[in-house]
Amino acid sequence: MTDIPLAPVGRIVKKSGAERVSSDANEELAKLMEQYASRIAKEAIKLAGHAGRKTVKATDVRMAAETVR
């Protein structure tokens, strides 16, 4: 089980063009999204620390997302 709610994940898949989405697919995508978000968050925390801040800013997250890909 993930921290990301499954209903919004299913809506994202449907908005992307799927007619139906299995609960297994929702759970797997939510798990992958959480793993990716966690990697981005960890990198953003490092960037904020290097800048001498404890607060993670949007720019840290954007830069981290570019790095983590």
One-letter identity of residue 48: A
How does DSSP classify residue 6? H
CATH of the domain at 10: 1.10.20.10
| Tens-place pLDDT, residues 11-47 | 999 999 999 999 999 999 999 999 999 999 999 999 9
Res 67: pLDDT: 96
Per the structure, the count of domains in the chain is: 1
Fill in the DSSP letter of residue 3.
S
What's the average model confidence in pLDDT over 43-54? 98
Q: How many CB atoms lie within 10 A of CB 64?
A: 20
Instruction: Let me know if residue 28 belongs to a domain.
Output: yes
Phi (first) and psi of residue 18, to 5 degrees: -75, 140
Q: Is the pLDDT of residue 58 over 90?
A: yes
User: Does the pTM exceed 0.85?
Assistant: yes
